[in-house]
A and B are shown apart, each in its own frame.
Chain A
Amino acid sequence: MRSSHVKFYQTGTFTVGNRLLNDSDRSVQSTMERTNSLNSGHRACQGCGEALGARYAIDAAMRATDNQLIAANATGCLEVFSTPYPETSWQIPWIHSLFGNAAAVATGIAVALRVKGRTGTRVVAQGGDGGTTDIGFGCLSGMFERNDDVLYICYDNEAYMNTGVQRSSATPPAARTATTQVVGPQPGNVFGQGKNVPRIAMAHEIPYVATATVADVRDLEAKVTKAMSIHGARYIHVLVPCPLGWGAAPHDTVKLARLATESGLFPVFEAEHGEVTDRSTIRRQVAVEEYLKPQRRFAHLFKPTLQSEVIARLQAQADRNIRRYNLLSGETHR
């Protein structure tokens, strides 16, 4: 589902030089015109997946809108590390109001732009998983249901990172957080029934829903670009590993995002008007252990004793995603 038909693995690596691509296929980040919407100098941790995702997503949205973009941000790491008063990393008009209202503030912006006749300017709302799937969920669903002209981007690092790594409804089962401690008979987060916000977004039958990860930022750029070509409510859910919260090495951010996809734990797909239209297939499924092992939040699954049953349940979730989205069957259909 990339914007280019070049098979990146032909080069034997996952990083392909832009020189192999046509000009039109090159990444936004490779162009001199990139806007650096989220400029350097912010306070994100080393290897922050959220900073990486936001940079690619917003620059792509800027290119897609000819730089006529306004952003509304929920409270959370992205907001805090980008705007320590009196400095700001944002090179675009940007507003932060509250933790749970980014979608509604964005609606207000979109409506105001329409009544003011500033129809060339578009709106993005962004927030973390907590600001999206928990406290901001009501406003998000309202924005979807009204089909307001807003692209909402959720940067999912699977916990409340800004307040010190507490559980959110996007925290995976068994993961250790500050509120799902590694104690008692079931250490880490419980196995709930889950809260799959991309699918809930699809249930609103909005024009466009997609998932993405920072392992494939070209795919993220393409999805943001596509989203900006559509009017109405749109939702992109981006997996953004957090070295601090996950207990991972900063240089493993991209690797972990890739393993999340390749294990099947985080399916990458697109949907339009409630129907899945495309997905990123996996060449070779990796075992969930490969994804879990480098992260200290899952360390209790391996030491002092191997928790095979718990790992098997996580593997079953991955396998279910692979079946549900048909992730192993060769070529993507486009």
Chain B
Amino acid sequence: MLKQIEGSRAVAEAVALCRPEVICAYPITPQTHIVENLGEMVKAGDIKGCEFVNVESEFAALSVAIGASATGARAYTATASQGLLFMAEAVYNASGLGLPIVMTIGNRAIGAPINIWNDQQDSMSMRDAGWIQLYAETNQEAVDLHIQAVPLAEELSVPVMVCVDGFILTHAYERVDIPTQAQVDAYVPPYEPRQILDPAEPVTIGAMVGPEAFTEVRYLAHYRQMQALGLIPELADAFAEQFGRHSGGLVRGYRQDDADTLVVALGSVNGTVKDVIDQLRERDVAIGSVSVISFRPFPAKRLRAMLEHASRVIVVEKSLAVGIGGIVSTDVRMALAGTGIPVHTVIAGLGGRAITQDALRDYLLRAHRDAVERVTFLDLRHDVIHREIERLETQRRSGPVAENILRELGSVADRIG
């Protein structure tokens, strides 16, 4: 059914349609509306056979999900930013134990400086934690990826993070097609756990493993993600058949076939990227893009096949590997190893800074002429950083950087005008 609803509400309705049995969560912006909606649905009895547990921390939220999943219940939680870091130990644990929990990340920056706005540093920090990571481009895709995540997780016994850009998607009101319960029931089979805590057949889960077997256990985690490279497109095809629209998959190209310059990006920024590509195409710039939906497992082969005809690749990144530059870029370079295709990184949208079409278009035009550095910070205010660097060099007690910069910029209100 078509609805004009908030992204968070749409995600909550999608999760509810998947018949979760245990939902546990701790509030953090911009995830809150998702779990508030789910909590209300459970309390009102709209999700049958489901309990909602209000816990005291994100660490507990995922730990409750771990216990519930190991007991054979379909478990769901959601978080963002500091919350994801607070549960980090349990994030690795859930995947290490092979528990198919689905978790929404309402992508948000990580402090300090504390910042509630969107970027993807949070989920990027957990890219090697053994979870499958899917990035939604639109709220429709956020809905669809959640529905695909449940059978994906349960078939492989691997947890899945569905990453949804905070505010840009979670708080946006858009038209979304919410499927019917019958459609979702036909697509999401009941949970058949591979391991279960049951007195009838007692098992030990979480034993201490030494050097004699640790590598093998880790290899199998990798193996299951390699299987996901096959299962993700299969589930996307089955989804298209069942629901009548294409959503998900590993990667998605846009006007890429004859492109000299190809842009790679994750999540909602692909919308802006496509608009800019359309503008540049009108000016006869041969440019296209590839949206990476599955970042873990990383579809290196598929990506290479799509990128290897380009003269250059630009990776738009909403996160920063301090001390090296791009996070996604490193993986893209690996996918392109031996081709000699230059890969440039543009760090954009950190802490919620708007990625404007103007800024992106200017950058891509320069990139198309190979007039960009390896790493570029889009819309970086050079005057501000130069003054702060000077302060650092001339004063020993230069004070806290973030506060210095804020003082210099003055109040936000002063600049609206």
Contacts and interface: CB of A to CB of B under 8 A. Distances in A.
Contact of B68 (A83, A91, A109): A109
B67 A72 contact: yes
B43 to A, nearest CB: 14
Contacts of B73: 111-112, 115-116
B56 to A, nearest CB: 3
Q: How large is the interface on B (under 10, 10 to 19, 20 to 34, 35 or more residues)?
A: 35 or more
B209 A108 contact: no
A97 B206 contact: yes
A189 B75 CA distance: 43
A107 B375 CA distance: 47
B66 interface: yes
B372 interface: no
Of residues B21, B65, B66, which shows the largest number of chain A Cβ atoms within 10 Å of its Cβ? B66
A112 B64 CA distance: 9
B207 A88 contact: yes
Q: How large is the interface on A (under 10, 10 to 19, 20 to 34, 35 or more residues)?
A: 35 or more
A146 B67 contact: no
Interface string B47-91: 001110111110110011111111111010000000000000110
Interface stretch (A135-143, A164-172, A257-265): A135-143
A92 B68 contact: no
A101 B93 CA distance: 11
Contact of B93 (A98, A109, A113, A121): A98
A321 interface: no
A146 B53 contact: yes
A246 to B, nearest CB: 24
B63 A98 contact: yes
Nearest to B205: A95
Contacts of B209: 85
A100 interface: yes
Of residues B56, B57, B97, B213, which shows the largest number of chain A Cβ atoms within 10 Å of its Cβ? B56
Interface in B131-164: none
Contact of B213 (A69, A85, A145): A85
A33 to B, nearest CB: 15
Interface of A: 67-70, 72-73, 79-80, 83-86, 88, 90-98, 100-101, 104-116, 121, 138-139, 141-142, 145-146
12 contacts: A68-B199, A72-B67, A79-B208, A95-B204, A97-B67, A98-B63, A108-B68, A112-B72, A116-B72, A139-B57, A141-B56, A146-B53
